Amino acid sequence: MRIAVGIDHAGAPLRETVMQAVRDAGHEPVDLGEHDDYPDTALEMGRAIAAGAAGRGILVCGSGAGVSVAANKLAGIRASVCHDHYTAGQSVGHDDCNVLCLGARVIGPAIAAELTAAFCAAQFSGEERHVRRLGKVFQMERDGMEASW
């Protein structure tokens, strides 16, 4: 799978670690470069996924929060800040997240590589309860505050 990697100025210390971890997981990193502002990084990531240039993405800023907030404003993007192994895998397995967000000021290179590997290896479970919940998320994305079930 092609996995886009987007970095803002604060995420730069983890850039090569994440790129190598994607390769080590058997995937092809797509380097989106480095941006000064995290919304620019998130937008480029969303465009890469929407265009089919990447199946998933990894965004890195200082905390992971900024890129996550920005990415989740984009249709079709389900981004999660993950700073532990369980969440990095579970965000895909249960929630079908397609973007991992990391904070370079929160975690170091060893943890970043571990979380990248967990995210890359995870697959959506397809279990009925997860599909049902994801359907509600899609309805919220489509209908906003008017969503109802």
User: Which one of the listed residues 27, 35, 61, 82 is annotated catalytic?
Assistant: 61
Structure tokens at 140: 């919220």
Cα–Cα dist 44/57, whole Å: 10
Mean pLDDT of the chain: 97
Residue ranges of domains in the chain: 2-124
pTM, full prediction: 0.95
pLDDT band at 149 (very low <50, low <70, confident <90, very high): confident
- Is 3.40.1400.10 the CATH classification of the domain at 2-124? yes
Cα–Cα dist 137/111, whole Å: 29
pLDDT band at 25 (very low <50, low <70, confident <90, very high): very high
The sign of the CA dihedral 87, 107, 9, 33 is negative
* 27 is annotated as an active-site residue: no
The 10s digit of each residue's pLDDT in 82-141 is: 999 999 999 999 999 999 999 999 999 999 999 999 999 999 999 999 999 999 999 999
* 61 is annotated as an active-site residue: yes
